[in-house]
């Protein structure tokens, strides 16, 4: 039931049932996009991700206008770090003062409620949009997100956010295995020249589309906007 529009996508057109589709904005957090956060402590050039913000904001506006459900995820640990596996805490071989939970330039690194853990203003959530704290890279592990989407009748997911090669790709693969029809919005995850690892991003897009869309579809923001208007 309800309107179904078609997005010009790869590897073939993507039917988008507006009332049964959610936009999932992955981890547009200061911890990944600004200096002094988790992304930078891992040695990344966080400025490279900022190209995702303009298309991300346009996509958000288009989804809101169409009345679609919007879900924002945050990679965020509880202040007592009870949801932080030891393996994740120690990964990277960083000194204790740079690990998750340590005090950084924007508060405790990757801890819920700290300034650095918040979503950047360009794509900030508004009243009524879901905010999902996730302890892992994927949005479906230990979050209850699948059950909530099922209860809401959501069958289709559009993915934007950072980083394509880690949290976006993990979440999309988790969703694909749970039966969702997934579409990666390529420029709203940073243009190919704007990822922590541009070559990983290009490869991620190819992996998704390959074999007849084995993980789902890809399209740019303009294609989604055109379908929704």
Judged by CB, which is closer to ligand C5J: 16, or 74?
A: 74
- 74-92 exposure pattern, b = at least 16 Cβ within 10 A, e = fewer: bbbbeeebeebeeebbeee
Contact call for residues 157 and 189 (beta carbons, < 8 A) = no
Contact call for residues 140 and 178 (beta carbons, < 8 A) = yes
Site string (22-61) toward ligand C5J, x via CB under 6 A: -----x----x-----------------------------
- Comparing CA positions, the residue from 20, 173, 30, 164 lying closest to residue 108 is 30
d(CA 147, CA 141): 12
CB of 15 to ligand C5J, least distance (A): 28
Per CB under 6 A, does 62 bind ligand C5J? no
Judged by CB, which is closer to ligand C5J: 143, or 163?
A: 163
Active site residue 167: yes
Identified catalytic residue from 31, 137, 167, 187? 167
Contact call for residues 158 and 100 (beta carbons, < 8 A) = no
Judged by CB, which is closer to ligand C5J: 33, or 69?
A: 33
Interface residues toward ligand C5J, by CB under 6 A? 27, 32, 75, 137, 162-163, 166-167
Residues with a known catalytic role: 27, 134, 167
């Amino acid at each position: 039931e309800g309107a179904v529009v078609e997005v010009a996508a790869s590897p073939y057109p993507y039917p988008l049932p507006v009332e049964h589709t959610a936009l999932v904005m992955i981890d547009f957090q200061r911890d990944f996009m600004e200096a002094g956060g988790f992304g930078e402590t891992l040695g990344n050039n966080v400025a490279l991700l900022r190209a995702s913000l303009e298309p991300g904001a346009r996509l958000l506006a288009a989804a809101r206008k169409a009345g679609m459900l919007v879900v924002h995820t945050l990679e965020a640990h509880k202040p007592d770090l009870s949801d932080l596996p030891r393996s994740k805490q120690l990964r990277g071989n960083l000194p204790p003062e740079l690990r998750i939970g340590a005090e950084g330039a924007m508060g405790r690194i990757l801890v819920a409620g700290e300034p650095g853990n918040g979503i950047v203003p360009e794509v900030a959530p508004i009243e009524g949009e879901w905010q999902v704290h996730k302890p892992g890279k994927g949005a479906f592990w230990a979050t209850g997100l699948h059950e909530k989407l099922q209860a809401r009748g959501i069958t289709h997911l559009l993915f934007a956010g950072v980083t394509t090669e880690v949290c976006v790709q993990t979440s999309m693969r988790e969703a694909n295995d749970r039966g969702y029809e997934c579409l990666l919005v390529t420029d709203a995850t940073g243009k190919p020249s704007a990822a922590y690892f541009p070559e990983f991003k290009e490869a991620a897009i190819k992996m998704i589309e390959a074999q007849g869309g084995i993980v789902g579809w890809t399209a740019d923001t303009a294609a989604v906007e055109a379908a929704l208007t």
